Structure 1
């Protein structure tokens, strides 16, 4: 099948933000005399705000007042991502320019709030590559539910099955696979678990390899048919 659009996650896939976010969380735990539960933290990657709250509340139990923890966390995270250009991940610019040259519409589907997502993309200098942006505040169900990918495909006016999806997290991969997209996973902080690997999607070390993979298999068709 020829694919007619490309949909990208943002944090950890396009932008190297996950380490910034994790460090801010770790510092907040230290400030509040809380343990840093790494496995619990890593399981929130790819989730929207409600999903993050649910996982952290369950993981920390009565050790935390979630709102106090979240405020301490965001007070450390937002000053960085609202004012500094976060580096793009390896292969991002080459892939975006290649897809643009192939006249393939592109979208972002991120669990991040819309205003912050726009700020991050603009500071990084890649906002103008994308034809649409779908964010966690615009859907009822966060990843691993497919809703945000289905919304992104709808906004591009392309059938989900004709979309390529690029993700780093296991939650994001589950969402994109459930949306019936052709999925490429480029792991960041978390390696794909055996359950996710069993989904049979593509797993690559970086986005650098994607143009070669797509050209080799002849899976792109220019524009929207």
Structure 2
């Protein structure tokens, strides 16, 4: 399903694509939800869809702060973060994280058509390496990866534009923001892309309410449904 909320394409044509990781390329959100729900349950709290929508796309420290604050958990944020990391990283180390439907098809198509692509994730480098360990050949197709959770140049996480501006600057030809298209699943990531002066395709998690999808240039239900031709790129067949 493709839905355009009426946002005017600022430039139309783009030359580079920057793609989020969790929930966009990798199917990790269920794991994160399970980890947070497990911690919350110990204290008789429920990780509701509203809180999920606020946490999606944030760096780990901010995810912990939101969870502790919103559910009024009686533990320090750093303790929650440590337990969350232990649970999620333990799962990543033991299991192969599947790619999101259509991700392989889209990335191979862009690579074959020589469209520069990068990954911009709020994860730390260690977390990225754990999650992608079984997909090394796939991630070699990207020009570079920016891990906002550990990259010293990323001063502020999403919804600040830092990660996308830094990702654009690391392409050899240093495209202007208007020449970049971001692919995201989270409202914070969409806001970061807009703040960076980039167009953005959103593939929202089911918990993201309609009103938090409206900033996106285009909203689709699957990554392989991105209308590349609208942005001056070879269409996916």
d(CA) in 2 for partners of 1:121 and 1:4? Answer: 26
* Residue number in structure 2 paired with 1:179: 196
**Contact 2:61–2:81 (CA<8 Å) still a contact in 1?**
no
d(CA) in 2 for partners of 1:102 and 1:15? Answer: 22
Which of these residues, 64, 71, 78, is aligned with residue 75 of structure 2?
64
CA-based RMSD of the aligned residues comes to 2.0
d(CA) in 1 for partners of 2:135 and 2:195? Answer: 30
* Residue number in structure 2 paired with 1:209: 225
Which of these residues, 144, 150, 153, is aligned with residue 132 of structure 1?
144
Deviations 1:63-121 (A, max 9, x none): 22223323332222111113322111111011001101110111111000012213322
* Residue number in structure 1 paired with 2:59: 48
* Residue number in structure 1 paired with 2:99: 88
* Residue number in structure 1 paired with 2:121: 110
The number of aligned residues is 216
d(CA) in 1 for partners of 2:133 and 2:55? Answer: 25
* Residue number in structure 2 paired with 1:2: 13
d(CA) in 1 for partners of 2:71 and 2:40? Answer: 11
Which of these residues, 213, 216, 219, is aligned with residue 232 of structure 2?
219
d(CA) in 2 for partners of 1:82 and 1:17? Answer: 13
* Residue number in structure 2 paired with 1:33: 43
Unpaired segments ≥5 residues, structure 2: 1-11
Rate the CA distance shift 1:11–1:102 in 2: closer, same or farther, 3 A. same
SS of structure 1 residue aligned to 2:181: strand
SS of structure 2 residue aligned to 1:145: coil
Rate the CA distance shift 1:184–1:218 in 2: closer, same or farther, 3 A. closer
**Contact 1:85–1:123 (CA<8 Å) still a contact in 2?**
yes
TM-score (norm 2): 0.83
SS of structure 2 residue aligned to 1:165: strand
